[in-house]
């Protein structure tokens, strides 16, 4: 997986798609963390994204390919970009 740079992520269509489906008040850093986790499991573009579901501090991101999914717990905080 190609690691995103801080300046490239807000312009990334996948980041925009995920962030738009997160609850109001979700920070850009949290949306970036969710996007990095999605890319880590193989969801690399908007056309590979099936759904984003949020319940309290838990976000499920599901890809079009069976098995491509990730659970992101926003209550754990966002790791620094170098660690993500």
User: Is 2 inside any structural domain?
Assistant: no
Residue 25: left (phi > 0), alpha (psi -120 to 50), or beta? left
> Which pLDDT belongs to residue 55?
92
User: Is 4 inside any structural domain?
Assistant: no
Per-residue pLDDT band for 8 (boundaries 50, 70, 90) equals: low
What are the angstrom distances between the C-alpha of 34 and each of 7, 8, 43, 46, 56?
16, 15, 11, 14, 14
Instruction: Look at 4 and 62; give whichever has higher pLDDT.
Output: 62
Range of the domain at 57: 9-78
Residues 6+ apart with CB under 8 A from 10: 16, 28
In the predicted structure, residue 1 carries a pLDDT above the cut 50: no
User: Is 44 inside any structural domain?
Assistant: yes
User: Is 56 inside any structural domain?
Assistant: yes
pLDDT tens figures, 44-68: 999 999 999 999 889 999 999 999 9
Instruction: Look at 74 and 80; give whichever has higher pLDDT.
Output: 74
User: Is 84 inside any structural domain?
Assistant: no
How many domains is the chain partitioned into structurally?
1
User: Is 47 inside any structural domain?
Assistant: yes
């Amino acid at each position: 997986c190609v690691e995103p740079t801080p300046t490239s992520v807000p312009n990334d269509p996948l980041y925009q798609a995920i962030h738009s489906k997160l609850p109001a008040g979700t920070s850009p850093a949290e949306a970036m963390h969710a996007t990095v986790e999605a890319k880590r499991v193989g969801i690399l573009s908007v056309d590979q994204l099936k759904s984003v579901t949020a319940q309290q501090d838990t976000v499920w991101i599901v890809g079009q390919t069976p098995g491509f999914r990730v659970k992101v717990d926003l209550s754990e905080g966002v790791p620094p970009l170098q660690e993500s």
